[in-house]
Amino acid sequence: MTEPEIEIFHQMLLRCDDIAGKLDYFDVDESLWQHSPYIRDSFLISVSQIGELVSKISPETCRRYFPDIEWQQIRGMRNIIVHVYANVDYDIVWDVVNEEAPKLKQTLLKNDDIRREYESTLVVEEDIEEDILGYFGALDPIVGDGADGRIPQDGNRP
């Protein structure tokens, strides 16, 4: 597998993470899914991006490394979302975000090269998060009781 192909599969994993993150962050259950077009639509971009990424890899490569994945259906879903938006079946998208995206991630991570690339990104993200938290932790000295001109803990200026 070439480096560009590994990167494309890596990007697919990140889109799967986007989907899982949105499900968790918005605490999406089937009722919320059915009654909130804003929630549903927020998932369409990640699903369509996965389909677009599939189109950047040759069908032979997809079949060779991951023969059990329905690549053509993934591309087809993207085409419906992008070109025939009024025909999006949100019940199918619900299944995709809850069942198919996690399966795709699990399958892609079985490849050692893709898994290494993905895990190296996670380490970098953790380092960035630590840097950000460290930066904001360094701001703690500017917080006080307000008497000395620093911002009081409650956020209200004196």
Q: Taking residues 119-130, what's their average pLDDT?
A: 66
Distance of CA 134 to the CA centre of its chain: 25
Residue 152's beta-bridge partner residues? Answer: 144
What pLDDT does residue 120 have? Answer: 87
Those residues whose C-beta lies under 8 Å from the C-beta of residue 74, and which sit 6 or more positions away, are 50, 51, 54, 104
Residue 3 has pLDDT above 60, yes or no: yes
Q: Taking residues 142-155, what's their average pLDDT?
A: 52
Residue 49's nearest CA partner among 7, 8, 84, 108 is 8
What pLDDT does residue 83 have? Answer: 95
Q: Taking residues 93-121, what's their average pLDDT?
A: 95
Are the CB atoms for 50 and 78 separated by under 8 Å? yes
Mean pLDDT of the chain: 85
Count of CB atoms within 10 A of residue 157's CB? Answer: 9
Q: For residue range 13-24, what is the model confidence (pLDDT) as tens digits?
A: 999 999 999 999
Residue 124 has pLDDT above 80, yes or no: no
List b or e across 83-107, with b for residues whose CB sees 16 or more CB atoms inside 10 angstroms.
eeeeebeeeebbebbeebbeebbee
Are the CB atoms for 39 and 29 separated by under 8 Å? no
What pLDDT does residue 151 have? Answer: 52
What pLDDT does residue 122 have? Answer: 76
Question: To the nearest whole percent, how much of the chain has pLDDT over 70?
Answer: 77
Separation of alpha carbons 80 and 85, rounded Å? 6
Residue 62 has pLDDT above 70, yes or no: yes
Q: Which amino acid is located at 61 in the chain?
A: T
Residue 146 has pLDDT above 70, yes or no: no
Residue 30 has pLDDT above 80, yes or no: yes
